[in-house]
Structure 1
């Protein structure tokens, strides 16, 4: 005799308490398809998380992409070009050298009056990890002409002199003279203090650079600490793809003590640029007036 009040289910194996899946009296076991979907979802989240972390690490320590919005570095850089900036070598003690194209933070209101968009919180978060352009960073891109201890001079149309040695500058925009005829800063002779840089755009008659900021707190100089990194390659558009080496004119003995000009090793950075160039389509906009 069995006791109870309908606790048995006819046909259930094992007698009392047996239940069939899906009878509404107990939890259903997940189907293999459902388990597979949950597993794929978890894997996708992990992959996305790893990608975001890698993107952040690359932006912070290795490479960062910038967009060129102005003509101040023509013909070396065109509006719309995307450059990859090496942020790695400064970690090994390298300092910016003559002839390098560098990105640097605005030293003292060089970009005053430039409109700055007001991004929403989501845009700020995506910009922080490098997946969207940043609207708040105020950076410029120019060519280093003089480093600490150098004397840089412009007389008449040029050539530009560094420590009394004339530079041959094939990168200067066609039709421009190496020096500008104006009373605002085109004619000058300056001594670059230690820890600072004198920078100029390749489009000499259309670049607001060190020459035209000599009345700021740094007398037109860029503190080395403001340098983000060296632009090493034009990554986009592909038709403009090229590296940005130091021009040959800077290989001459320009130091006052007649020592050879050091050139920063860029092998690891260029290799990294090759790896990441197709991937970093989103860029940080760069003000390069």
Structure 2
């Protein structure tokens, strides 16, 4: 008897930020409709996050790998090396700061079926959802249309949250890190480069299939210090973060006590 492969294996990366993590996990189980297995890899988070994961894992019956040190994006590989890759059709990697929307899984799988030359597909599209408070830059991409389905082929990388073909994982595609101080980011560029070296394209979707709370003004204003520290380690640096805020009608302001907050400018968004 031939056993039909499970549609997707989802691996969510966790590192603190329990409120966003909870929103991400709830939205996943509220919307996922294809056959799936779900894992979380926790990068040595604080007690509040660990307790949350224990509660949600019991509720939704998923497995958590609790690490004793922050392995960043390389933590994805722990699950990849733990499971039988042949049991799955696609591999879905997820950050812990988004909110999945109904139909995201079926739409992604349909796109991957139509565009056989696409090895990695994002849940996001070219233009940030400014109307929903997202603050992010526009991304380049070339439109590809087939059978009434549309994606945008990216000349660069497409970020961490994505779906990937099983063939690439079987051939050894794995995650690496970009590291600076305590920060361990998944090396998105290297991962997408690996997809391309294996002869496949990487693509943005034609519309958003999840809300990107990790780049939203609402979250920026709640956790200003976190984002200042975060962007200081990234390629665009703190000045890039400040300029991105200005482009969307906000500014980073230092209070008299030395703390920061984000406020609107007079510029129309």
In which range does the TM-score fall when normalised by the shorter chain?
A: under 0.3
Tell me the TM-score normalized by structure 2: 0.25
Tell me the TM-score normalized by structure 1: 0.23
Which structure carries more strand by proportion? 2
Choose between structure 1 and 2 for higher RCO, CA contacts under 8 A separated by at least 6 residues.
1
Look at both structures and tell me which one has the larger radius of gyration over its CA atoms.
1
